Structure 1
Amino acid sequence: MEEAGRSVGEEKKKKVMVAIDESECSFYALEWALENLYQSLLNAEVVLFTAQPIADYGYIYAESFGVTSPELMASVQENQRKVANAILKKAKDLCTQHAIVAETATQVGDPKQTICEAAEKLHLNLLVLGSHNKGALQRTFLGSVSNYCVHNAKCPVLVVRKIP
């Protein structure tokens, strides 16, 4: 018997996305998920996602005495792509060490918004994030990606906090 394009008894794979940046806490969250959600991740579509923040070109303009060079801006953007690719490669290698197959994705923009947009676009079953352990005052003035995602993502969100 077929049900929505699959056989009865055949379960649709869950989609899990782990948001990664260069911080220790995001890699801790990935390692925690790999160790504690292993069976679930083994049978899921796993996406490793990193956001490339929009570069502040104001300093480039000031540094070059009022002349922004398209080549310089392209160089900054290329460097951001290289950093994002290196972060994703490190995360993917970590997944491979745990026998988890993962896809990678990146998007340019404000991290908290791009993470939520990706979560919605991919129809995730779970979003995993690390916590930077900011205090209430820092969260108020600097914002918190995990706090934003908990309140705005269109899927369940697991925030992994490293206990000192």
Structure 2
Amino acid sequence: MASGEESKLKKVMVAIDESECSHYALEWALDHLRDSLSSPLVVFTAQPYANVGYMAAASYGTPPPELIQSVQEHNKKMSLAILEKAKEICSRRGVITETTTEVGDPKEVICEAVDKLNIDLLILGSNSRGALERFFVGSVSNYCLHNANCPVLVVKK
């Protein structure tokens, strides 16, 4: 580095969910990047929307607002539990973390968080879905590879 040149802090974000592969990606990042992290590791999870269509079909009509609110609260609690577990894993390894969550389609809110938080590297786990499932469901990692405004590292188990 030239004299007087300041090194830019690199922000790394690991996007996780309840899957084993996303926690493997977190562990991989801690094993391989721990010494090069110069700022807190950002751990992100998406809270899915309350599936009103499914609830409407199950209840034969418009679901009551209390049911929708209950599902949203459950999703929030699950997301916070996922983040707390990740924070504990990072803490045991001596890595400082920032945790964050947003409500929405995971692939979209991950890319939005990359922009909002000025992330320099996004790390995701690979669910290793088959071609047929990727066709119908889509791949979060594939979407982020093409739409995130930073380099994306997909960790396969």
CA distance 1:130–1:75, change in 2 (3 Å)? same
Q: What 5-or-longer segments of structure 2 have no aligned partner? A: none
Classify 1:116/1:161 alpha carbon distance in 2 versus 1 (closer, same or farther; 3 Å).
same
Residue 88, structure 1, aligned to residue 78, structure 2: no
Say whether residues 1:105 and 2:88 are aligned partners.
Answer: no
Deviation at 1:140, TM superposition (A): 1.9
Residue aligning to 2:72: 77
Match of 2:139 in 1: 144
Specify the alignment match of 2:49 in structure 1: 54
Give the alignment of 1:26-65 within 5 angstroms: 26-41=22-37, 43-65=38-60
Matching residue's letter, 1:29: A
User: How many Å apart are 1:65 and its aligned residue?
Assistant: 3.6
Give the C-alpha shift of residue 9 in structure 1. Answer: 5.1
CA drift of 1:10 comes to: 4.3
Moved over 4 A (4+): none
Q: For 1:9 and 1:82, how far apart are their aligned partners in 2?
A: 44
Report whether the alignment pairs 1:125 with 2:120.
Answer: yes
Residue deviations 1:19-73, cap 9 Å, x none?
Answer: 01000000000000100111112x2231100011112112322333424211111
RMSD: 1.6
Residues 67 and 133 from structure 1, CA distance in 2 versus in 1: closer, same or farther, beyond 3 angstroms? closer
Give, in angstroms, the shift of residue 160 of structure 1. Answer: 0.2
CA distance in 1: counterparts of 2:118 and 2:94, whole angstroms: 24
TM-score (norm 1): 0.88
| Partner Cα separation in structure 1 for residue 131 and residue 57 of structure 2 | 34
2:156 aligned to which of 135, 157, 161: 161
Deviation at 1:93, TM superposition (A): 0.6
User: Secondary structure of 1:14's match?
Assistant: coil
One-letter amino acid of the structure 2 residue matched with residue 93 of structure 1: E
- The residue number in structure 1 matching 2:14 is 18
Tell me the distance in 2 between the aligned counterparts of 1:135 and 1:66.
Answer: 35
Instruction: Tell which deviates more after alignment, 100-109 or 64-73.
Output: 64-73
- Using the size of structure 2 for normalisation, the TM-score is 0.92
- Paired residue secondary structure (2:142): helix
C-alpha distance in 2, partners of 1:83/1:48? 15
